[in-house]
Amino acid sequence: MSTSQAILAGWMEIPRSSVQDQVRQRAEEEEALAALVSQYAATLYRVAFSVLRHPADAEDAVQETFLRVLRHRDTLGEVRDNRVWLIRIVWNIVLDRKRRSKTRPETDDVAELARVLPAKGLSAEEITAAAQHHSRVLACVDQLPAKERQVLMLSAFEELSSVEIAEVLGVTESSVRSRLFRARNRMAELLNHSRSLR
């Protein structure tokens, strides 16, 4: 080994203790991430599906969410509420994807809904009729303004309180309530209008 190589090796030495620390820290982060996946993957999938209404897209969104978490795993210790934090990430991802996929038709495929939605003890005709009904309702939901639609969709998740919805959307709780009130009134008008047309 020449002198310069020896100097370089001494300069860029790899401290054994720091390597061990890093390995240990990485193992802890991986464990924490695996725990997050097992605990919140289903919830995130349902949030993603409520916006995208496509199983494969929803799964992709969940995967992207955890990839982002993996990229910013250094900040995991600073997160106060992991669940709300993850829902906020997946919410932003699915909204972004929805915005990009403007070419996709807004109306849901009735057959896809009939396949995905749980329908125990129903006949095939009843399942189809229910899917058509849900499809009409979702079409009306899509006509709402974005802010009101988002609050209405998040309010359907039982595990989210109004405070947590406000945290996910980055608004105050009072604005969540006012938006939800407006969304309900608007939905009533839309449903009455669609009922009168039939």
Q: Which of residues 33-72 bind another protein (CB under 8 A)?
A: 33-34, 37-38, 41-42, 45-47, 49-50, 53, 55, 59, 62-63, 66-67, 70
Candidates 161, 169, 171, 178: give the one binding another protein (CB under 8 A). Answer: 161
Alpha carbon distance 100, 96 (integer Å): 6
Cα separations in angstroms, 115 against 47, 89, 120, 135 = 18, 28, 12, 13
Site residue total, another protein (CB under 8 A):
55
Q: Is 166 in the site for another protein (CB under 8 A)?
A: no
Where do runs of H (alpha helix) occur along the chain? Answer: 3-11, 16-52, 55-71, 82-100, 110-116, 124-142, 146-155, 162-169, 173-197
Q: Is 124 in the site for another protein (CB under 8 A)?
A: no
Reported as half-sphere exposure (CB side, CA atoms, 13 A), residue 33 has a value of: 18
Candidates 1, 12, 124, 197: give the one binding another protein (CB under 8 A). Answer: 12
Q: Is 172 helix (H, G, I), strand (E, B) or coil?
A: coil
Alpha carbon distance 174, 181 (integer Å): 11
CB 187 within 8 A of CB 140: yes
x-or-dash string of contact with another protein, 91-120, rule CB under 8 A: -------------------------xxx--
**Minimum gap (Å) between residue 18 Cβ and another protein:** 6
Of 95, 48, 90, residue with least CA distance to 69: 90
Candidates 157, 169, 171, 178: give the one binding another protein (CB under 8 A). Answer: 157
Q: Which residues bind another protein (CB under 8 A)?
A: 10-15, 18-19, 22, 26, 33-34, 37-38, 41-42, 45-47, 49-50, 53, 55, 59, 62-63, 66-67, 70, 116-118, 133-134, 137-138, 140-141, 152-153, 155-162, 180, 184-185, 187-188, 191-192
